[in-house]
């Protein structure tokens, strides 16, 4: 059974969703701590939190919101967005994050991420692989790197990474369905990954399709906030 992971994206301390990473499409859904408590009440044990201000600023910004979530719930929180330095990483862990997503930094400074794997263990890190036109996108999806997805993953899989969060940017926030073939391709190359699909989930059938495709986990956000999917107590 596919693992369901709700998502909270944060701008200026508020729970928001964007479309295709465009900050001009921001829609606010209230207080992130209240939303996290709601997810726990629904029976979820995991939560994906993204500091969108941090992603754009290239350093962690919404650390107080993360601390509020981890103080108010027992959820295992994975946190990303703007984690670029040892200090950012240690702040996130100190604020209660159980896992931290390394996204842009995994492209721009792979040696640093490999050092984090050595220091904290691969199990506490998630590799963020956000894709647009086949290339890894960085810095809050404002830039596309020259890194192709499959070769990019290999360096980190070889270093022990098993948790990979892959967002197809063209699908993100559209509610138009996930990039199932992209996720199938990743699993064909790296069948032992705990791959977390992200982007495009718009209905219950989308989640079932990912499950049928053998994708281990899925992050969802807007579909829940807009009442497009049915979530029963987990």
Which positions are annotated as active-site residues? 9, 130
Contact between residue 128 and residue 100 where contact means Cβ atoms under 8 Å apart: no
Beta strand segments in the chain, E? 3-11, 14-19, 22-30, 46-51, 76-80, 99-102, 125-132, 135-138, 143-148, 163-168, 194-198, 217-220
Measuring CA to CA, how many Å separate 108 from each of 55, 75, 112? 14, 30, 9
Query: Is residue 4 classed as helix, strand or coil in its secondary structure?
Result: strand
Distance CA 99, CA 78 (A): 4
Distance CA 165, CA 175 (A): 18
């Amino acid at each position: 059974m596919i693992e369901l992971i709700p998502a909270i994206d944060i701008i200026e301390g508020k729970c928001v969703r964007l479309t295709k990473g465009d900050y001009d499409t921001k829609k606010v859904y209230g207080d992130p701590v209240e939303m996290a408590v709601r997810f726990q009440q629904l029976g979820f044990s995991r939560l994906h939190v993204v500091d969108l201000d941090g992603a754009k600023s290239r350093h962690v910004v919404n650390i107080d919101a993360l601390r509020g979530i981890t103080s108010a719930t027992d959820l295992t929180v994975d946190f990303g967005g703007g984690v670029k330095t040892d200090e950012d990483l240690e702040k996130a862990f100190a604020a209660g994050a159980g896992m931290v997503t390394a996204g842009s930094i995994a492209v721009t400074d792979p040696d640093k991420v490999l050092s984090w794997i050595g220091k904290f263990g691969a199990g506490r890190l998630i590799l963020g692989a956000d894709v647009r036109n086949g290339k890894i996108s960085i810095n809050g999806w404002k830039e596309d790197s020259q890194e192709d997805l499959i070769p990019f993953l290999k360096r980190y899989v070889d270093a022990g990474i098993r948790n990979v969060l892959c967002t197809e940017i063209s699908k993100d926030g559209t509610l138009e369905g996930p990039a199932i073939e992209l996720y199938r391709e990743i699993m064909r190359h790296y069948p032992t990954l705990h791959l977390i699909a992200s982007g495009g989930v718009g209905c219950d059938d989308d989640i079932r399709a990912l499950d049928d495709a053998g994708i281990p986990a899925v992050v969802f956000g807007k579909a829940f906030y807009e009442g497009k999917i049915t979530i029963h107590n987990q």
